[in-house]
Amino acid sequence: MVNMGLGIGRRRAWAPSGPYLDSQTPATVYSPPATPNPDPRNFQWVSHVEIAPFVVATIRYRGCTTFEGLKVLVYKAPLAEIKAQKHLDPHFQESGITPLARFAPTIEGIQAAIRLCQLLQAENCNRPS
C-alpha cells in the first residue's frame, strides 16, 4: 500500500484512481444501465405512412427504454405484409421483413423518412423499363 498523505492511519489500497478510496471502504464501480434490446415480438403500431412501394412505420417496442421504445422504420414491402408480422425486428437482417432505413423517432426523423421514400419513389418512376 502507498501512503497518499490522506491522514494518519488512512491509506489507499491502490493508486489514486484505483478501486478503493481507502483500505476500509470499497469504491462503487460505475457501469451504465443496460439498455434492453427491443423485443421483436412485443411491439405496437403507432402510425404509418404509405408511399408505394414504401412504408414509413412508427412502432413502439414495449420494454425498450431508449426513445421511449419508439422506432421510425422504412420498409419496402406492402403494408398488409408488414402488419401481418408477429415478429418485427427493427434491426437490419439478411432476410425476411427487414427495415430499409431507420430514423430518429422525432418529427424531423419522420419527415426525413417520408422524404427518402418520396425520392426513392421518384427515382423508381424515372428509371427506364
Q: Radius of gyration over alpha carbons of the chain, in Å?
A: 25
Query: Is 78:87 a contact under the CB 8 Å cutoff?
Result: no
Q: Dig out the grid coordinates for 126 from the structure.
A: 424515372
pLDDT of residue 66: 86
User: Residue 16: what are its φ and ψ, rounded to 5°?
Assistant: -55, -30
Q: Dig out the grid coordinates for 35 from the structure.
A: 439498455
Domain ranges of the chain: 1-30, 43-126
pLDDT tens column, 36-61: 688 999 999 999 999 999 999 999 99
Q: Dig out the grid coordinates for 11 from the structure.
A: 491509506
> How many other C-beta atoms lie within 10 A of the C-beta of residue 73?
23
pTM for this entry: 0.70
pLDDT tens column, 17-39: 555 455 555 556 666 666 668 89
